[in-house]
Amino acid sequence: MIRSSYFRLRPECYFVKGVKRSAIYNLFAGDMFSLQPMETDILGRCEKNESVDAIIRSICVPSGRVLDFLQCIEKKKMGVFLEKPYYVEKYRDRNIFRHKSYRRNPPELKIGFISMAYQCTLNCWFCLMRDVSRRWGCFGCNIGPLREGTYLTTQEIVDTISQLHAMGCHTLVFRGGDVFIDIKKASAIIQRARQLGFENIFLVTHGIFNSDECFRLLYENEVHPIFQVFPPVKDIYEKITGVTNPLATILLSLGRLKKMGMPFSINLLSEYSIMREMKEAVEFYKALSPSSLLEDVLVSSYMEMQEDGQWDPVKKALLFDKKFAKVSASSFFDRWQFHPCLYGKISINIFGDVSPCPSLYNDVLGNVREKSLPEIFGEEKYQRYWEMSKEKILPCRSCEFRYACDECRGLEKWATGTLTEIKYCSYDLLEGTWTSMPRNRLNNKLEPER
């Protein structure tokens, strides 16, 4: 009976082919499953409404292996056997063809990054270095890039965030330097942002608050701080920051926020010389119960291969620690249409320069002192970034993991010099393997990919 039947994935499960292998995305369960080449061939034929019996005869694979594989998918509630060919209308949370129109749609702003200060009370060695980039630059602090010009005034920043709110932006991320170095300016801007009604307000900080007013400002305006931290070792902190014992002050700040019942996140930043400290550092900061913890890493252009031919620890962190987030319908279709790192984002530095994100600070698209944000968004050059997707990046367009993968376009452009290439990925599309890193791929056990 089963051999004479057909098999199709359920509406919420998407089959995505790569060059050699493929993946099943279960949008309701949030899982992604990686398939071997043989399994890819079988399921691909099923999705074309070939009967199970025809598949068994055409690919010369024992019937037991084919049936075991399909029954495994059925048990995972991702597919069903059918008596006759059947068209499956796939689940979508939106019209994915909406943006492909002759009339350009208005921009959909999601998140704005606002630099409020380039001065800082720390003196971290990597700030302002052009031969250094990082994995999660958007959610870290940096006192650059510097250039000649005057900083935006309090009123100019207030006017800018008012424009963002009027354009539908619902999330702000305030960055520095030390945002609280001018507490009066910070207070006026943050209070206005809350009055305007932004849904989410984040603030990137090194965690050294110079007065009780800093805590009060965060608490009263429901600001979610993101602490950029390093491994919690006194000598390491002093070496990186150039300041005597900042760690004690930062831990006091974190402890005080916990007592106040305030949520906070951690951006744990590492670099070449302290990679070995990261495992214990992650456990230490996790024990503080942050809302989220990012494992960030500094990347230097001169770090490639060590003398023994092995990848240095920083490149290993970027290339080989490939972790996929839980898949959702929203994230899947976002990646289908756009690039998750670029779409819906805008960054405005302390001089008023507008760029697609903080890490693409050289891609200046306008200045808020010269044009309004709607005017800047109305220009054709901004669409290049927002209409970017994995389909336009080599080799991502041919990868089965393209709708689950997060990668930083700012970092990749820094490394390759172009917006459409990728360097920090070790997945070999032709072989369907991860270079120099053993990973448990799905066979017939169908375990979720992580």
Q: Which tens digit of pLDDT belongs to each residue from 18-47?
A: 999 999 999 999 999 999 999 999 999 999
- Res 102: pLDDT: 45
Count of H-run helices and E-run strands, the chain: 14, 17
- In terms of average pLDDT, the best of 190-194, 269-273, 318-322 is 190-194
- pLDDT for 380 beyond 90: no
Contact 314, 275 (CB under 8 A): yes
- pLDDT for 439 beyond 50: no
- pLDDT for 259 beyond 50: yes
Residue 277: band (very low, low, confident or very high) from pLDDT cuts 50, 70, 90:
confident
- pLDDT for 246 beyond 60: yes
Q: How far is it, in rounded angstroms, from Cα 43 to Cα 65?
A: 13
The 3-state DSSP class for residue 46 equals helix
Nearest by Cα to 291 from 257, 329, 323, 322: 257
Q: State how beta strands 427-428 and 293-300 pair.
A: unpaired
φ and ψ at 363, to 5 degrees? Answer: -90, 70
Q: Can you tell me the mean pLDDT for 271-275? A: 79
pTM for the whole structure: 0.86
Q: Can you tell me the mean pLDDT for 218-231? A: 96
Task: Please indicate whether residue 121 or residue 155 has the higher confidence score (pLDDT).
Answer: 155
Alpha helices (H) along 304-347 = 313-319, 329-337
- Res 443: pLDDT: 34
Q: Can you tell me the mean pLDDT for 395-408? A: 89
- Res 1: pLDDT: 54
Q: Kindly list the distances between the CA atom of residue 249 and the CA atoms of 207, 343, 426, in Å, as whole numbers in the listed order.
A: 8, 37, 39
Residue 148: band (very low, low, confident or very high) from pLDDT cuts 50, 70, 90:
confident
Query: Who's near 378: CB < 8 A, 6+ residues apart?
Result: none
- pLDDT for 228 beyond 90: yes
Contact 271, 298 (CB under 8 A): yes
CA dihedral 181, 183, 184, 186 (to 10 degrees): 90
Task: Please indicate whether residue 97 or residue 378 has the higher confidence score (pLDDT).
Answer: 378
